[in-house]
Structure 1
Amino acid sequence: MIELTDADYARAEQMLAPYRARRVPGATVTPRWIADGTRFWYRAGSRYLVVDPAGGTRRDAFDHERLAAALTRGSGHAVDPADLPITALDLDRPGDGAVRFTAFGQRWQWSDRDGTCVVVEGDDPTGPDEVVSPDRAWVAFRRAGDVWVRPRDGGDGFALTEDAEPHHDYGGLPEALGARALMRALGLAQPLQLFWSPDSTRVLVHRLDQRALPEQVLVEAAPRDGGRPVEHRSRYPMPGDEAQAVMSWTVLDVTDRSVVRQQGEPYVVLHPGAMTYAWWTGAKGEAVHFLQQSRDARTLELRRLDPATGETTTLVRETGETRVDPASQLGEPTMTHVLDSGEILWWSQRDGWGHLYLYSADGERVDQVTRGPWPVRRVLWVDQDSRQVWFLATGLVDGDPYVRQICRVGLDGTGFTRLTDDDLDHDAVSPREGGHLVDRASSPSTPPRSAVLDGDGRVLVTLEEPGTGGLEALGWTAPERFRVLAADGRTPVHGLLWRPHGFDPQRRYPVIDHVYPGPQVHRAGPSFDVPHEGEPEALAALGFAVVAVDGRGTAGRSKAFHDASYGALGDAGSLVDHIAAIRELGHRHPWMDTGRVGITGHSGGGFATARALLAHPEFYSVGVAVAGNHDMGAYVPMWAEWYHGELDDEARRSLSNPALAASLQGRLLLIHGELDDNVLPSQTLRLVDALITADKDVDMLLVPGAEHALLGRMHYVFRQTWNYLVRHLHGTEPPAHRLAPLPLPGGLG
């Protein structure tokens, strides 16, 4: 039995993502390319830096101390150079060292030459509903669903479209997965998705039609103004519905204000990613290419759109018995490239692995560029002059199929070269023009070592080499990367194990499965900063052994490994593999008490949490399910239709946690935001209703005003989660410590 104190909770709080990041400054390097295309800037901790790869230099973007002093004088606020309160940094303005940024609710310009900070009027930074043209002369934005443009340096805007109507507009996202409630909570306009032509004369934008979709109503019971409950309406289709959102492409000319529409019928779109799989080709934008996926995702086409006529032509068409994906994981950039020669570089899993293929311009010839029992994970750049392609691949490091390595190969398939030859995970990106790479190399125990590499993998500029001292001072230890056999006794599966803080091998610690089942992604990767929001580290600080597992059916490996979830989506990322992994780890580590196993997760992890207690009550005894999509037959169509397949009555039952309600034996806490417009709160209430019918005890927290991310309330959700697990796994009462509201993302608050 472990008795926890306020100090333990305070240390756990510091393990959460926003605070953890501050303990490892420089771990996140996000290059932001400057308009000249040859340099980029990034932020490391409190410093802003500019990198010139060709010159091999890395320097401060400005004099932080002088800027802080000048901003203090100009604003009347005390400004710490080690914690500059600036957002929306703009380094693209002409002039000697001129930098613009937002601070204290105003726009400022700093001049290194003059050492002054002055307020700038009429230069509001672009928001998510605005897109700047490549020549930075124009800004495209939305007004009442239509596309408008305005000169970036001032002047009147004008409309490029005038026929938008409610639920049939330009550049928007599907309401069911468009994070409308989140944007509303942040006070931001809905994001605009469109593409400027390379010569900045035209705009490519989709038109989305959601008029035929059924409407969903959510009620905000306790609005901030204290008034009556407020209703929020959105269009929300479900699996099997005939009516779905449809979209088509439109080309808008800024000069003559002409409108060219895609010919043919609009096509069904089930996920916002469809709006990102389009691009201009040619130096001036002579053509548009886009990927079109069928409703069941078993057909993927590359199509060419003539921007002058709207005529479309299918160039590549691939079909399969399960999904035909455009990338290894949902949401990753497409790896399709159309070369100036008309040849097409295409990514496919047709041989059981994700590999590159080169189609001739006439489509008559297809050559495999990469091959082997490993997948290409990301195309970094294609050099058409040398006819070579740089890419990330996994499966090349013995013992871990998830470690990414940087590779190069000729478009004819010859000259395959690994440019990195270590056991670190390489998360590299490249500017659009290629020529070099910004690489972040890490492991679960090694923070990202970032550097700019040339095309041969040589270091041009070292960027950051952070350490873990700030975390270790709080009791953190690196998680263990493990490999065990799946429940089938044959297939290796991988994961991470966090030891409890203050670890004593003579003690016995309860185990928590921190779960997200995919199947569109994998989550327990081999990098330092896997996407778990720091919660496993926080739970480890509370005296738990914490495990994250990528079971069969999750993405990132072979096609067969991923397809294990097809037709078996209800298995939640193969929970039997999680059980097998925890039992095997218990044999290796006697300090893990596999008789006391809890589980928690968010969204799909919420579904998996409840499913674990309902389908495996002999193993899991405590669960906290946050925002779970507990009945996927009544969730958005994509998950069931893309990742499960045919939906008859038996299939719908297999995807329903309420159908298993009578099996509950352990302690279950269900948490949901009342304004969750992604996973509707009815998902949790359906399960509660079934549990009441089955006369089962259940705990529930419905969070007023909260959406899917529970923004602004997540600190409370974390505390309730921790308290529940402490009470029912440690068997002790939690301390009274209250967590502070978490910092908002992106400098929003």
Structure 2
Amino acid sequence: MREANISLRIRKFNISNLDRTMKKIYLILGAFLFTLTAMAQKQMSLEDAVLGRYSYLYPRQISQLQWRNNQSLVYLQTDTIWETGVADQQSHALLTTTDLSKIAQGQQIDFAHIGAFRFHTEDEIIFNNGNQISFFNLNSKQFTGKLETPQDGEASDLSPQARAVAYVKGQNLFIQKDGQDIQVTHETQPGVVCGRYVHRREFGIEKGTFWSPSGKYLAFYRKDESMVKDYPLVDFMTRQAEATPVKYPMAGMTSHQVTIGIYNVEEGTTSYLKTAGPDDHYLTNLSWGPDEKYIYLAELNRDQNQMQLNQYLVAEGKKVKTILEESRSTYVEPQHSLVFSKTNNDQFYYWTRNDGWFHLYLYNTQGELIRQLTKGNWEVTEFYGTDANEKYAYIQATKESPLDRHIYRVNLKNGEMTKLDDQAGTHKANFSPSFNYMTDNWSACANPGQTDLRKTNGKLLRTLSKADNTLADYQLGENKIVNLKAADDSTELYGRMILPTNFDPNKKYPAIVYVYGGPHAQLVNNTWHNDANWWFYYMASKGYLMFTVDSRGSANRGQAFEEVIHRQLGVEETKDQMKGIDYLKSLPYVDQNRIGVHGWSFGGFMTLNLMLRQPETFKVGVAGGPVVDWEMYEVMYGERYMDRPQENPDGYSECNMVNHVSTLQGKLMLIHGVQDDTVVMQHSMKFLRACIQQNKQVDFFAYPTHPHNVRGRDRLHLMDKISQYFFDYL
């Protein structure tokens, strides 16, 4: 027994030693395999980050997916329009480029490729190829007409119902219909233009023409900028530099004046709405009534704190009544046109922040609130419409999290909400005409994108398309969301952190803060890679920790979250950004002496705020297209958030970065497009002048042919310039 026990102990000892040996071997082998895998993976190059982001590294799905009718979908793939049924998972070819080109040739229609298309009805397709719009009937397999705008025609706007297209040439508005070009306006006075967007695309304005539902009328903006001083821009690329002035009304200065014309296509006559009030008010969110008898217009005073929704008679241009009003001590910002009821022409859906959050309301045209349809401390971010019987409305919202977007069905009687998707992420819906089915196109941090087919009770039918992970072969730094408290110590903020490639927690790394921080932008979202820019991964591959925080003032968090910046742009945002810095400094692997910052536009302004208000924290900054002095920014945006300079002199002074130049300590570079007509070059010039006067060394680089953003292949040069600045000094 004793010998047996000794033998057993020896065996146990040997096995134990063997286990430890094998563990070491496995660890060494694992580390070796990990190293081999890392070596086999690609590193993100600057070309990949800049040129590949929206080309060869963009996750592709099937193209131009859309509903043909309530039971079938169509999409474009390999020069063929394919059709697939809701119930039938098989796809069949509907039309090919070859077939269409042959048919077009016989009908004297220029048709080389399918290009952009959409279904007007289930049997009629509208093709848009450059300046040619053509109509094709699937039953007859024939082109049934075409509209061709001039090569110098711009801002085209099609009415399929009228078989007409509006376009702008020079100062004037034209319509092409029945093979004829009709000149709608005949302006010759310099500074006047018709049919283009107004108010510098604020208030949700994206275009300048608005067809009535039947196409009988065309409403349009007439913009008179003759009273606005020319702002000098210079084209340096000509033999002799040439002036290319623009109209740029700055905060507190004279603004342009806008009126709204209505062209009767059948009669060939034009009348104008008789809007009242000061000439420099804002006319926004134009909506046609379903019977085309009335036009509805959101009219905002120049101070942007009082809005009236007014009803006008189309025939006379006369104001009928004010339907509702909104006013706030800060600002009112109407952004959405009315959507009229499908069952009652006297009722409409109104999407506004009336209670501090973007929600849906149902009103009648007498101005009576029937009911608030959605409510809560979250925002409706899209209103898709209602079913035919108006039992349900369908929306996209931030109800689960500000980082996510989900699709919901809202019971219009009791407000009960049903979430129609089942995965965290950002979801966008496209509904069948009957609202019985929907496509759900979504992505999330680990999902490059997929499109699911669902019933509108949320039931998943099948996945239609799933994008490939185009970054699968790349070695990337870890990307994660962090939660912070704002400077008020109660509001939750969200940040995104990307760790350096081959991260070692025992090392110290420099950190770069990428910042925007202003209204109408949200940088951190639950989309693929948390909405990161591929340049962040490039910098992470060079050993930098990349960090971004959406501070108070940014989008989709409600009125109170945004308006904390009112009359003091940059102040509270900087405090919130510094809470992010506090978080970075709490991490043992962040080198507190090597923190940099970069941003563009409002982000350029915030870069200056951080460099100048917190000079002991930031070693290096790169400010692109920065606002320096809000008195030199345009009227609509500037006065909304800062009021007029004469009303808020202390605020303008505090937010003027020229007044903080004396605190500059770190390395700072400004970059500006010479043709910038959004944040004009004057901002950088005044800042540079102040630096010279105060003997502060800064660096500056200009892009001679570019406006506010540097695009195209030149962007590779830009990002190389920015990267190298951090390589050299951080």
For the superposition of Structure 1 and Structure 2, which TM-score range results when normalised by the shorter chain?
A: 0.7 to 0.9
1:253-311 residue CA offsets vs partner (Å, 9 max, x unmatched): 1111011210134766789xx66x223231x5333223222222222332222221112
1:156-179 residue CA offsets vs partner (Å, 9 max, x unmatched): 31212224532222112349669x
Alpha-carbon distance in structure 2 between the residues aligned to 1:687 and 1:60: 62
Q: Do the aligned partners of residues 545 and 431 (structure 1) sit closer, same or farther apart at CA in structure 2, a change above 3 Å counting? A: farther
What does 1:239-318 align with in structure 2 at a 5 Å threshold?
239-241=251-253, 243-265=254-276, 277-282=285-290, 285-312=292-319, 313-318=321-326
Alpha-carbon offset, residue 108 of structure 1: 12
User: Residue 26 of structure 1 corresponds to which residue in structure 2?
Assistant: 60
Which residue identity does 1:254 align to in structure 2? V
Q: Do the aligned partners of residues 31 and 590 (structure 1) sit closer, same or farther apart at CA in structure 2, a change above 3 Å counting? A: farther
SS in 1 for 2:570: helix
Indicate the structure with greater strand content: 2
What's the % identity of the aligned pairs? 23
Alpha-carbon offset, residue 249 of structure 1: 1.6
User: Residue 416 of structure 1 corresponds to which residue in structure 2?
Assistant: 417
User: Residue 344 of structure 1 corresponds to which residue in structure 2?
Assistant: 348
The count of corresponding residues between Structure 1 and Structure 2 is 676
Alpha-carbon distance in structure 2 between the residues aligned to 1:245 and 1:61: 52
Alpha-carbon distance in structure 1 between the residues aligned to 2:151 and 2:85: 27
Q: Do the aligned partners of residues 38 and 160 (structure 1) sit closer, same or farther apart at CA in structure 2, a change above 3 Å counting? A: farther
| Native 8 Å contact 1:518 1:554 kept in 2 | yes
SS in 1 for 2:233: strand
TM normalised by structure 2 equals 0.82
1:617-653 residue CA offsets vs partner (Å, 9 max, x unmatched): 1111111111111111111122331113353321211
Q: Do the aligned partners of residues 307 and 659 (structure 1) sit closer, same or farther apart at CA in structure 2, a change above 3 Å counting? A: same
Which residue identity does 2:725 align to in structure 1? Y
1:158 to 159, 182, 196: 182
| Native 8 Å contact 1:383 1:434 kept in 2 | yes
1:172 to 184, 196, 221: 196
Alpha-carbon offset, residue 727 of structure 1: 1.0
Question: Is 1:447 the equivalent of 2:432?
Answer: no
| Native 8 Å contact 2:517 2:552 kept in 1 | no
| Native 8 Å contact 1:509 1:593 kept in 2 | yes
1:93-124 residue CA offsets vs partner (Å, 9 max, x unmatched): 99999996769x999999999x9xxxx99798
Q: Do the aligned partners of residues 175 and 641 (structure 1) sit closer, same or farther apart at CA in structure 2, a change above 3 Å counting? A: closer
User: Residue 144 of structure 1 corresponds to which residue in structure 2?
Assistant: 170
Alpha-carbon offset, residue 406 of structure 1: 1.4
Alpha-carbon distance in structure 2 between the residues aligned to 1:127 and 1:49: 29
1:704-747 residue CA offsets vs partner (Å, 9 max, x unmatched): 12111223422211110011011111xxxxxxxxxxxxxxxxxx
| Native 8 Å contact 1:12 1:542 kept in 2 | no
1:134 to 133, 152, 160: 160
Alpha-carbon offset, residue 554 of structure 1: 1.7
Alpha-carbon distance in structure 1 between the residues aligned to 2:660 and 2:270: 53
User: Residue 602 of structure 1 corresponds to which residue in structure 2?
Assistant: 600
What does 1:84-123 align with in structure 2 at a 5 Å threshold?
88-90=115-117
Which residue identity does 2:580 align to in structure 1? A
1:563-603 residue CA offsets vs partner (Å, 9 max, x unmatched): 211122132x612222212332443x433323311111111
Alpha-carbon offset, residue 16 of structure 1: 2.8
Alpha-carbon distance in structure 1 between the residues aligned to 2:670 and 2:629: 14
Q: Do the aligned partners of residues 344 and 659 (structure 1) sit closer, same or farther apart at CA in structure 2, a change above 3 Å counting? A: same
Bigger mean CA offset, 698-707 vs 421-430: 421-430
User: Residue 232 of structure 1 corresponds to which residue in structure 2?
Assistant: 244
SS in 2 for 1:427: strand
Alpha-carbon offset, residue 531 of structure 1: 6.5
Which residue identity does 2:294 align to in structure 1? A
Which residue identity does 1:206 align to in structure 2? Y
User: Residue 707 of structure 2 corresponds to which residue in structure 1?
Assistant: 707
User: Residue 393 of structure 1 corresponds to which residue in structure 2?
Assistant: 397
Q: Do the aligned partners of residues 475 and 88 (structure 1) sit closer, same or farther apart at CA in structure 2, a change above 3 Å counting? A: same
Alpha-carbon offset, residue 558 of structure 1: 2.8
| Native 8 Å contact 1:335 1:379 kept in 2 | no
1:8-62 residue CA offsets vs partner (Å, 9 max, x unmatched): 996232123653553343269665677x898765568x77765667566684777
Alpha-carbon distance in structure 1 between the residues aligned to 2:393 and 2:258: 32
User: Residue 548 of structure 1 corresponds to which residue in structure 2?
Assistant: 548
User: Residue 506 of structure 1 corresponds to which residue in structure 2?
Assistant: 506
| Native 8 Å contact 2:120 2:160 kept in 1 | no
RMSD of the alignment, in Å? Answer: 4.1
Question: Is 1:13 the equivalent of 2:47?
Answer: yes
Alpha-carbon offset, residue 529 of structure 1: 7.1
Alpha-carbon distance in structure 2 between the residues aligned to 1:169 and 1:26: 40
Alpha-carbon offset, residue 616 of structure 1: 0.8
Which residue identity does 1:424 align to in structure 2? G
Alpha-carbon offset, residue 63 of structure 1: 7.8
Question: Is 1:363 the equivalent of 2:367?
Answer: yes
User: Residue 326 of structure 1 corresponds to which residue in structure 2?
Assistant: 334
User: Residue 31 of structure 2 corresponds to which residue in structure 1?
Assistant: none
Q: Do the aligned partners of residues 97 and 151 (structure 1) sit closer, same or farther apart at CA in structure 2, a change above 3 Å counting? A: closer
Alpha-carbon distance in structure 1 between the residues aligned to 2:535 and 2:667: 20
SS in 2 for 1:569: coil
1:519-558 residue CA offsets vs partner (Å, 9 max, x unmatched): 2332222222777654333333332211111111222113
Alpha-carbon offset, residue 412 of structure 1: 3.1
Q: Do the aligned partners of residues 305 and 123 (structure 1) sit closer, same or farther apart at CA in structure 2, a change above 3 Å counting? A: closer
1:361-384 residue CA offsets vs partner (Å, 9 max, x unmatched): 432444222222222222111236
User: Residue 721 of structure 1 corresponds to which residue in structure 2?
Assistant: 722
| Native 8 Å contact 1:48 1:60 kept in 2 | no
Alpha-carbon distance in structure 2 between the residues aligned to 1:62 and 1:641: 53
Q: Do the aligned partners of residues 170 and 412 (structure 1) sit closer, same or farther apart at CA in structure 2, a change above 3 Å counting? A: same
User: Residue 692 of structure 2 corresponds to which residue in structure 1?
Assistant: 692
Q: Do the aligned partners of residues 668 and 375 (structure 1) sit closer, same or farther apart at CA in structure 2, a change above 3 Å counting? A: same
Q: Do the aligned partners of residues 122 and 407 (structure 1) sit closer, same or farther apart at CA in structure 2, a change above 3 Å counting? A: closer
Could you list the runs of 5+ residues in structure 1 that have no partner in the other structure?
Answer: 1-6, 71-84, 179-190, 328-332, 730-749
Q: Which has the larger radius of gyration?
A: 2
Alpha-carbon distance in structure 2 between the residues aligned to 1:61 and 1:99: 18
Which residue identity does 2:626 align to in structure 1? G
Alpha-carbon offset, residue 358 of structure 1: 2.2
Alpha-carbon distance in structure 2 between the residues aligned to 1:60 and 1:585: 55
| Native 8 Å contact 1:298 1:324 kept in 2 | yes
| Native 8 Å contact 2:232 2:246 kept in 1 | yes
Alpha-carbon distance in structure 1 between the residues aligned to 2:270 and 2:159: 18
Q: Do the aligned partners of residues 476 and 28 (structure 1) sit closer, same or farther apart at CA in structure 2, a change above 3 Å counting? A: farther
Q: Do the aligned partners of residues 37 and 365 (structure 1) sit closer, same or farther apart at CA in structure 2, a change above 3 Å counting? A: same
Which residue identity does 2:306 align to in structure 1? T
| Native 8 Å contact 2:479 2:497 kept in 1 | yes
Could you list the runs of 5+ residues in structure 2 that have no partner in the other structure?
Answer: 1-40, 103-111
Which residue identity does 2:220 align to in structure 1? V
User: Residue 456 of structure 1 corresponds to which residue in structure 2?
Assistant: 457
Alpha-carbon distance in structure 1 between the residues aligned to 2:545 and 2:442: 27
Q: Do the aligned partners of residues 350 and 96 (structure 1) sit closer, same or farther apart at CA in structure 2, a change above 3 Å counting? A: closer
SS in 2 for 1:323: coil
| Native 8 Å contact 1:443 1:526 kept in 2 | yes
| Native 8 Å contact 2:373 2:412 kept in 1 | yes
Q: Do the aligned partners of residues 602 and 536 (structure 1) sit closer, same or farther apart at CA in structure 2, a change above 3 Å counting? A: same
Q: Do the aligned partners of residues 365 and 722 (structure 1) sit closer, same or farther apart at CA in structure 2, a change above 3 Å counting? A: closer
1:62-101 residue CA offsets vs partner (Å, 9 max, x unmatched): 788979999xxxxxxxxxxxxxx96843466999999967
| Native 8 Å contact 2:311 2:323 kept in 1 | yes
Question: Is 1:426 the equivalent of 2:427?
Answer: yes
